Structure 1
Amino acid sequence: MLQFINDLEPHVVGIHATGEVTKQDVETVLMPRIDELVARQGEINYLLVLETDVQNWTAGAWWDDIKMGLKNFTKWNKIAVVSNQKGVQWFTDAFRFFVPGKSKGFALSELSEAVEWVTAKENETIEQSK
């Protein structure tokens, strides 16, 4: 199941995944939020809190997720994926080589750091790193 995370800055879409994730979840929860964000600001800052095994995503959910990613390929700004699955964290870190934006994997215990990272705008990121 996908649920929208409501307490994030308006320039970030946050999704919490638990249990089985279906094509309908992607179509009714994720895609409308991503489409609205792109229409409003032209780029995507995305937080995915993954508290389910990636094997719990149905084939239809994966296919729609891939189609959405390709449709918005040049719009990805920041992608933060929070999961205790080491393979997911590694893949997210490696994903930065395949999309124009930045991506970073975090452990569930690092959720607050993930929110801070995906929420920070570039000028804030530069200031914080000084």
Structure 2
Amino acid sequence: MIEQIEGLPAGTLGFRARGQVTSQDYERVIVPDVEAAFALNRKLRLLYHVGDDFTGFDPGAMWDDAKLGFRHFTGWDRVALVTDLPWLRMTATAMGFAVPAEFRLFGNAELDAAKRWIAEPRPVDGD
């Protein structure tokens, strides 16, 4: 299941993965929210929390995630992934260079820090 994370600033989307995540979760929650947000914003920020109650992604969900990422490949400003799952942390670390956005990885205990980071203004060049 995918849930929205509320209380984030404008231009920032937040999602929490719980239990088993399916392609229907992407099609029902993430895709409409992302498409609507990109209709209003050229660049978006994303906070994605995969907590201890997460059990896995269905193959269709992983495919939907990849398609959505590629469709808006250059539209991400900042991406924060919050998880303690070793396989997901390793994958994110290995593939983080390919994300054309400022990317940071946080542990579950750092969720509040991730929310602060995703909301803070980018430094102006020369600062």
Task: Return the TM-score normalized by structure 2.
Answer: 0.88
After TM superposition, where is structure 1 displaced by more than 3 Å over at least 4 residues in a row? 93-96
Task: Give the match for residue 113 of structure 1.
Answer: 113
Query: Aligned partners of 1:113 and 1:31: how far apart in 2?
Result: 26
- 1:32 to partner: Cα distance: 1.1
> C-alpha offsets along residues 17-43 of structure 1, whole Å, 9 cap, x if unaligned?
000101010011111111112111111
SS of 2:97's equivalent in the other structure is: coil
Which is strand-richer, 1 or 2?
2
Give the 5 Å matches for 1:20-59. 20-51=20-51, 52-53=54-55, 56-59=56-59
**Which letter maps to 1:19?**
G
* Structure 1 unpaired stretches of 5+: none
Task: Give the match for residue 71 of structure 1.
Answer: 71
Give the aligned length: 124
Indicate the percent of aligned positions where both proteins have the same amino acid: 29
SS of 1:73's equivalent in the other structure is: coil
Task: Give the match for residue 98 of structure 1.
Answer: 98
Task: Give the match for residue 14 of structure 2.
Answer: 14
Task: Give the match for residue 87 of structure 2.
Answer: 87
Give the 5 Å matches for 1:119-130. 119-123=119-123
CA RMSD of aligned residues (A): 1.8
SS of 2:84's equivalent in the other structure is: coil
Query: Aligned partners of 1:108 and 1:47: how far apart in 2?
Result: 12
Query: Aligned partners of 1:93 and 1:35: how far apart in 2?
Result: 26
Which is helix-richer, 1 or 2?
1
* Structure 2 unpaired stretches of 5+: none
